[in-house]
Structure 1
Amino acid sequence: MDFSSLPEVEIWYLIKSGNQQAFSYIYKTFSKDLYKYGHKFTQDTSLIEDVIQDLFVHIWDLKGNISIKNSIKFYLFACFRRELIKKVKISNKNESLDEVHSKFKWEMSFLEILDENQIILESRNKISLALDQIPLRQKEAIYLRYIQELSYDEISKLMNVQVPSVYNLIFKGLKKLKKILPFSRRSIKIGGLIFLFIQ
């Protein structure tokens, strides 16, 4: 069965009915994205893998009681983010989440945006310097919007802020990137969004 052609509501119905192939499909589809997202909170690979594994075991065990009406991806990200942050806080008792958060490795994610859209930096190491000047929540909002392609409404729920705040976070982050990064555009997908959104 080609699960990619089915609406997510139907896929979740199959999972609730005990269809292991449908469950395997969502694991293969979303586990890599969860893993990448997890590295924005910690570099502890084992912890990330454990939380992902526990999440899917929990979902399968409670599948009959879980209701997903729209986005399976959003549900997974929301559950994963909550559980991972809880575990990170426990393993970093002497540090605030912001202090742990400041150790994120964002460069590869943002280079992925640039590479996919053929946006060329004059100097690649400038992305690191640029990202150091952008607040952490702005980076996370941009990451969720452009790498994970979540909606503004989903990001607001995930980050526990109002939708206008999400727009503001992304607006300010992109504006800062545009100001700092001397890139040339060869396509308009992201580059156009940056320029149109902030001019």
Structure 2
Amino acid sequence: MATSKIFDDEPGLWNAFQQGDIRAFELIYRTHSSMLLSYGRRLCSDHDLVNDVVQDVFVEIWTRRSTLRDLHTIKYYLFRIVRNKLSKLRASNLLVAVDEDDRMDDEQLLSPSIEFLITQQETSNDQAVRLQQAITKLPSRQREAITLAFYHDFSNEEIAGIMGINHQSVINHLNRALTFLRDLLTSQPIVAILIGLFL
């Protein structure tokens, strides 16, 4: 994560935040809020509810900042809190999961890394659209794992922690997703590159 020049590194940023530095809090918010909103909207079709949950997370961490412990990374911590809150709402039947026909716009489905690979391979716009459409056809857990891996660059261990599953389950979800994409898009070299990143 890029930090401002006034903070040496992420631990320094987190420490300043814990001490009540409003600039540190603002930087954490600016850096992570849009990613959290994007991730939450893939888990829940009620985007207003996702907005509220993300705002609540930032209010909560500011209120409890002095009691929060050191963490793996700020990004990992925030993703895990958002997912836990949405999971609790789902358990209370207050959250509606994303339906097959209620997905994000195609532009939002592709991660920067996938876009970069597509550009590098000079694949056509048509192929890029086909890949985006294929990702929307994945089961929700596989789609979530692919999103966390490609869009947010989390490791398998981090994905396991965020999703609340074990490491092997993450590997299984990613392998099944990539196998599905390979079978659906056998003519696209981009899929072979994606598979090579994980296998």
Q: Same fold (TM over 0.5)?
A: yes
Deviations 1:118-171 (A, max 9, x none): 253545553465235422211111110110111211111111111122112112
Mean CA deviation greater in 52-61 or 82-91: 82-91
- 1:193: Cα distance to partner? 3.7
Unaligned runs of 5+ in 2: none
AA aligned opposite 1:39: R
Residue of structure 2 aligned with 1:161, choices 149, 160, 165:
165
With over 3 angstroms needed to count, the CA separation of the structure-2 counterparts of 1:116 and 1:65, relative to structure 1, is: same
Return the TM-score normalized by structure 1: 0.80
Mean CA deviation greater in 5-14 or 117-126: 117-126
Structure 1 match to 2:177? 173
Matched, 1:17 2:48: no
Residue of structure 2 aligned with 1:28, choices 17, 27, 30:
30
- 1:81: Cα distance to partner? 1.0
Could you tell me how far apart the structure 2 residues matched to 1:20 and 1:36 are?
24
- 1:3: Cα distance to partner? 4.9
Matched, 1:105 2:103: yes
With over 3 angstroms needed to count, the CA separation of the structure-2 counterparts of 1:167 and 1:109, relative to structure 1, is: farther
Return the TM-score normalized by structure 2: 0.80
Could you tell me how far apart the structure 1 residues matched to 2:75 and 2:136 are?
29
With over 3 angstroms needed to count, the CA separation of the structure-2 counterparts of 1:61 and 1:51, relative to structure 1, is: same
Structure 2 match to 1:51? 53
- 1:195: Cα distance to partner? 3.9
- 1:4: Cα distance to partner? 8.3
Could you tell me how far apart the structure 2 residues matched to 1:149 and 1:3 are?
23
With over 3 angstroms needed to count, the CA separation of the structure-2 counterparts of 1:133 and 1:105, relative to structure 1, is: closer
- 1:85: Cα distance to partner? 3.0
With over 3 angstroms needed to count, the CA separation of the structure-2 counterparts of 1:196 and 1:12, relative to structure 1, is: closer
Could you tell me how far apart the structure 2 residues matched to 1:109 and 1:4 are?
32
Residue of structure 2 aligned with 1:135, choices 128, 136, 139:
139
With over 3 angstroms needed to count, the CA separation of the structure-2 counterparts of 1:4 and 1:135, relative to structure 1, is: farther
With over 3 angstroms needed to count, the CA separation of the structure-2 counterparts of 1:102 and 1:77, relative to structure 1, is: same
The percentage of counterpart residues that share the same residue type is 28
With over 3 angstroms needed to count, the CA separation of the structure-2 counterparts of 1:102 and 1:4, relative to structure 1, is: farther
Structure 2 match to 1:116? 116
Could you tell me how far apart the structure 1 residues matched to 2:175 and 2:53 are?
32
The two structures, once aligned, show a CA RMSD in angstroms of 2.7
Residue of structure 1 aligned with 2:81, choices 79, 82, 104:
79
